[in-house]
Amino acid sequence: MSLRIGVDARERVRGRQTGTGRYLEEIINRAIEVRPVWRWVCLLSPDGEERISAGSVQYRRLPGWPTPFVDQVVLASAIKRETFDLFHCPYLKGPWWSPCPVVVIIHDLIELRLPPEQGGRIRATPIF
């Protein structure tokens, strides 16, 4: 069965390698090997880098940088327009609404333990 899978690939920034970006590259490359009929559409930021060259991978650029508006309105509109069978978000800020199933990956929960000045969230009591 052929699937059309959308990917939030805004971590693929030109000249910068992130852990999330590396994860995306590896998971798509491995999936291409085992499911060559699947089609991938990577949604990039304006300066996003197209790193995977395969016939089953296409790229689209979203207008604007990641902000709550772009994350929840522009991204959701792109998902609807592209008619994906599945949408993959490699970090914990997926769209609240989507016309297709969404897989959100949470790599770690460290931000729940860090103080706000280090990018964490305020918590009255530790959750773990």
**pLDDT tens, position by position, 101-123:** 999 998 777 767 777 777 666 55
Quote the pTM value: 0.82
Q: Is the pLDDT of residue 127 over 70?
A: no
69 Rama sector, left if φ>0, alpha if ψ -120 to 50, beta otherwise: alpha
**pLDDT tens, position by position, 60-112:** 999 988 888 888 999 999 999 999 999 999 987 889 999 999 999 987 777 67
CA atoms 77, 99, 108, 30: torsion sign: negative
| pLDDT at residue number 120 | 67
